[in-house]
Amino acid sequence: MELDSFDRRLIALLRGDGRAAVSKLAVTLGASRATVESRLRRLLERGAILGFTVRLPATEAPGAVRALMSIEVVGRSTTAVIRNLRVLPEITSLHTTNGAWDLIAEIQTANLQDFDRVLREIRGIDGVLNSETSLLLSSV
């Protein structure tokens, strides 16, 4: 689907706040509420927007653990592995990639015990061949 500048601006606003009121979007975009609703409906119907999700703030709590996990998948099982990874709430983002690794998962847990459990769960998923995890120590 080809997106025009209005569609791209609307999507950018929704990325920043997926719960923004249509009336607020209309004012920001300089369009009528009906125009924004119709464009939003069209973007959803044509698959340019697949849905809306919840984003949780990064925890700064003492003991919180964040990491990036590179995952190698067996053969053509990527779709099944992704489906199994998406049900883990500790995975805050998931990406396909090229090179030696097939997927990159960002993981966030409250403590090391939870982190250890999540690593075992991921490594136990049928189709996960190998993984490498790097703890995120500080943001700079």
Residues of the chain below pLDDT 70: 1, 54-61
The residue type at 84: N
In the prediction, which pLDDT does 54 show? 67
Note whether 90 and 114 are within 8 A (CB).
yes
Predicted TM-score (pTM) above 0.85: no
The residue type at 69: M
In the prediction, which pLDDT does 1 show? 65
In the prediction, which pLDDT does 126 show? 97
CATH number of this structure's domain 65-135, picked from the four choices 3.55.50.30, 1.10.3470.10, 3.30.70.920, 3.30.70.260: 3.30.70.920
CATH architecture entry for 5-45: Orthogonal Bundle (1.10)
Listed by start position, the domains of the chain span 5-45, 65-135
In the prediction, which pLDDT does 65 show? 93
Q: Where are the alpha helices (DSSP H) in the chain?
A: 5-16, 22-29, 33-45, 78-85, 112-123
Closest by Cα among 9, 51, 52 to 28? 9
In the prediction, which pLDDT does 112 show? 93
